[in-house]
């Protein structure tokens, strides 16, 4: 077997976004497109030569083809060992777990997360560093810079590796180790949560749940852990077989795309608990009967109750949330006397805080919750955490959250997404807000009677407390006296046009006012945001596409 050196020229736009390089499948299918990006990883991540690499993806269309290319390139670039998930499958949190457990020099995860899959849909690739987490900006910038000057890549001339047999084979000098994608991860979960208590919950007969894997990567993980190890009834996991096009669905666990689960948990006969995960298994949605737990509240509830689980019984060192995530967790941190950090959107910003032991739990409004057990957000972990709390507290999801609000107050919260809007219009909207920012503090918005007085307005910038790196222009924040906030930013994960996200939050201490419909409670602030940002005139959209 021989390595070939193939001449190539740079492609424009191989800049990783919030989480890796995400493009239409057709982009990745262009000759040399994937290869250029992968060679840029090998050229800049020099520890991989002679080292080991974890490789897997969410099973979407083009996953298997891309894995074969990457294996042959790894062989030609001197990687000693690649641990690849059977069938090319590895969830994002499982990849992180395996990188850490086997101390590899990093991992390549193939996923476009919650974006749809299929020949005309999305594909993605991201590099995770040896700590197990998403590459920080210094690494993704170096990879991107390399893609701009690349003129050749190395690839072994070899047949395809059998990805469906567990065991070792060789590709030239490279050892390819096909591993069980679930086993290490399941073992880690069993070490963190009280599996006996959860087993008893399921065997009691008075608690029933459904987990929607959305035909994405978590199916095999959820079947093994929930049904086989914890004894949940067969059929607990819905849409459990990973499909290349996710069954034509949109593997995004929110109230719109996981509506079947919402219906199953509705009404007197509804299931007690519902949960869903996304394409690559790092996101989670948690539902009780007739009850949606916002990801922001979920983080706060987990932080307040962590000591009820074996893995966190000694309490937490601190908590972090992304800037647009509600401030519910801040109140818990204050009560616990631990630090709470506000970071830009993107899991990579939690990495340094986790490595330094400054935080134990972290989360984002975008359905991501996690801890120091790996360096990615982790969908099934969050579901097991909730199951452990339900078993320990012997309360329903709604009771747990209502108790939490009574103790800490409620942060009413919603996110409005305007998807696929014109990119120039979206940039113009944000630029306009940037110009307005200095004039806002002190202004009373939404009418002088009962309006909201602006306490601060800025374009969020973050200085990492561990390495001093600075991230600027991370979203428009408008904070009001009393803690209400409006945040606006453009999504960094889309592949078509721009997506404007508008995040609205208002704190309510009075428990007599904790039961209002969310959109009603936030209506005045929603109106202020629409008018201030001139959303309709600039985007042509009168209503958001998705409300969560
Ligand atoms: C990715 C990141 C998350 C981030 C989210 C935001 O999620 O991993 O940390 O919160 O993007 O997305 P956007 O920029 O669209 O608001 P995922 O699940 O897509 O990898």
Q: Is 348 in the pocket of ligand 1 (CB under 6 A)?
A: no
Report whether residue 493 contacts ligand 1, using a CB cutoff of 6 Å.
yes
Residue 57: which H helix or E strand, with range? strand 52-57
Q: Can 113 be counted among the known catalytic residues?
A: yes
pLDDT tens, position by position, 1-28: 789 999 999 999 999 987 899 999 999 9
**CATH number of this structure's domain 185-408, picked from the four choices 3.20.20.70, 3.40.120.10, 3.40.190.10, 3.55.50.30:** 3.40.120.10
Q: Which residues contact 477 (CB under 8 A, 6 or more apart)?
A: 323, 456, 457, 458, 459, 460, 485, 486, 487
The answer to whether the 185-408 and 410-547 domains have the same CATH topology is: no
CB of 366 within 6 A of ligand 1: the answer is yes
What is this structure's pTM? 0.94
Report which of 426, 443, 436 is spatially closest to residue 458, judged by C-alpha positions.
436
Q: Is 17 in the pocket of ligand 1 (CB under 6 A)?
A: no
State what percent of residues in the chain have pLDDT above 70.
99
pLDDT bin (cut points 50, 70, 90) of residue 492 is: confident
Is the pLDDT assigned to residue 225 strictly greater than 90?
Answer: yes
Q: pLDDT tens, 61-70?
A: 999 999 999 9
Determine the CATH number of domain 3-181: 3.40.120.10
Delimit the domains of the chain by residue range: 3-181, 185-408, 410-547
Going from the Cα of 164 to the center of ligand 1, the distance in angstroms, rounded, reads 30
Mean of per-residue pLDDT scores for the chain: 96
Q: What does the alpha-carbon distance between residue 33 and residue 10 come to, in Å, rounded to a whole number? A: 9
pLDDT per residue as tens digits for the range 146-200? 999 999 999 999 999 999 999 999 999 999 999 999 999 999 999 999 999 999 9
Token pair 């701009």 is found at 148
The arrangement of secondary structure in 410-547, i.e. its CATH architecture, is: 2-Layer Sandwich (3.30)
Query: pLDDT category, 36, cuts 50, 70, 90?
Result: very high
Q: Ligand 1, from 20, 254, 345, 375: best to mutate by most atoms within 8 Å of Cβ?
A: 345
**Please, which pLDDT band fits residue 451 given cuts at 50, 70 and 90?**
confident
Enter the DSSP assignment of 251. Answer: -
Question: Which residue has a Cα nearest atom 4 of ligand 1?
Answer: 346
Residue nearest to atom 5 of ligand 1 (CA): 346
- Check residue 438 and report its DSSP letter: G
Determine which one of 91, 113, 298, 371 is catalytic.
113
How many degrees, rounded to 5, is the angle at CA 493 between CA 489 and CA 496?
A: 95
pLDDT at 450 over 80: no
Whether 365 lines ligand 1, by a CB cut-off of 6 Å, is no
Q: Using CA atoms, how far apart are residues 375 and 275, in angstroms rounded to an integer?
A: 22
The CA distance from 397 to 399, in Å, is: 6
Q: Quick check: 216 pLDDT over 70? A: yes
Reply yes or no on whether the pLDDT at 449 is more than 70: no
Provide, rounded to the nearest whole percent, the portion of the chain with pLDDT above 90: 95
Q: What is the structure's pLDDT at 493? A: 78
415 lines ligand 1 (CB under 6 A): no
Which residues does residue 17 pair with via DSSP β-bridges, in sequence order? Answer: 20
CB atoms near residue 286 (< 10 Å): 28
Q: Is 190 helix (H, G, I), strand (E, B) or coil?
A: helix
**Per-residue model confidence (pLDDT) at position 448:** 59
For residue 416, report the distance from its CA to the centre of ligand 1, in Å: 15
**Distances, alpha carbon 205 to alpha carbons 200, 209, 231, 390, in Å:** 9, 11, 11, 14
Q: Is 118 helix (H, G, I), strand (E, B) or coil?
A: coil
For ligand 1, what atom is nearest to the CA of residue 493?
15
Neighbours of 128 (CB within 10 A): 28
The two most distant CA atoms of the chain are separated, in Å, by 78
């Amino acid at each position: 077997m021989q390595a070939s050196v193939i001449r190539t020229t740079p492609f424009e736009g191989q800049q990783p976004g919030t989480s890796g390089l995400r493009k239409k499948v057709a982009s990745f299918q262009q000759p040399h497109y994937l290869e250029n990006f992968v060679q840029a990883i090998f050229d800049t991540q020099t520890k991989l030569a002679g080292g080991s690499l974890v490789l897997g993806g969410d099973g979407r269309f083009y996953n298997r083809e891309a894995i074969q290319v990457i294996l042959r390139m790894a062989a030609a670039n001197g990687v000693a060992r690649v641990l690849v998930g059977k069938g090319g499958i590895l969830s994002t949190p499982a990849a992180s777990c395996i990188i850490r457990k086997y101390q590899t020099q990093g991992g390549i995860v193939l996923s476009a997360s919650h974006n749809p899959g299929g020949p005309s849909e999305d594909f993605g690739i991201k590099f995770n560093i040896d700590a197990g987490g998403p590459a920080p900006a210094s690494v993704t910038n170096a990879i991107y810079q390399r893609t701009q000057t690349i003129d050749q890549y190395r690839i072994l001339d070899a047949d395809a590796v059998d990805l469906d047999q567990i065991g070792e084979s060789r590709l030239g000098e490279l050892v390819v180790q096909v591993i069980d994608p679930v086993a290490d991860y399941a073992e880690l979960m069993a070490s963190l949560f009280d599996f006996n208590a959860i087993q008893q919950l399921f065997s009691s007969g008075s608690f029933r749940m459904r987990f929607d894997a959305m035909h994405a990567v978590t199916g095999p993980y959820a079947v093994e852990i929930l049904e086989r190890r914890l004894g949940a009834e067969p059929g607990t996991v819905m849409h459990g077989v990973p499909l290349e096009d996710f069954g034509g669905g949109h593997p995004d666990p929110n109230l719109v795309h996981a509506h079947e689960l919402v219906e199953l948990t509705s009404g007197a006969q509804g299931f007690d608990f519902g949960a869903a995960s996304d394409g690559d298994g790092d996101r989670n949605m948690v539902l009780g009967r007739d009850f949606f737990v916002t990801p922001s509240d979920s983080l706060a509830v987990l932080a307040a109750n962590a000591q009820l689980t074996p893995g966190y019984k000694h309490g937490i060192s601190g908590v972090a949330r992304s800037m647009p995530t509600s401030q519910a967790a801040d109140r818990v941190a204050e009560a616990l006397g631990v630090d709470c950090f506000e970071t830009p959107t993107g899991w990579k910003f939690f990495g340094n805080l986790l490595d330094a032991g400054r935080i134990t739990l972290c989360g984002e409004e975008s359905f991501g919750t996690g801890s120091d057990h790996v360096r990615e957000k982790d969908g099934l972990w969050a579901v097991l955490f909730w199951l452990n709390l339900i078993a320990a507290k012997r309360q329903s999801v709604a009771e747990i959250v209502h108790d939490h609000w009574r103790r800490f107050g409620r942060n009413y919260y919603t996110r409005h997404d305007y998807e696929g809007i014109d990119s120039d219009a979206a940039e113009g909207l944000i630029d306009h807000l940037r110009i307005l920012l200095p004039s806002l503090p002190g202004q009373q918005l939404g009418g002088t009677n009962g309006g909201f007085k602006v306490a601060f307005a800025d374009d969020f910038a973050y200085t990492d407390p561990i390495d001093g790196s600075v991230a600027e222009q991370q979203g428009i924040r408008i904070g009001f006296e009393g803690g209400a906030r409006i945040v606006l930013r453009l999504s960094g994960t889309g592949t078509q046009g721009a997506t404007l996200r508008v995040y609205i939050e208002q704190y309510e201490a009075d428990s007599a006012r904790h039961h209002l419909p969310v959109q009603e409670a936030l209506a005045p602030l929603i109106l202020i945001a629409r008018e201030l940002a001139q959303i309709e005139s600039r985007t042509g959209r009168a209503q958001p596409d998705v409300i969560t």
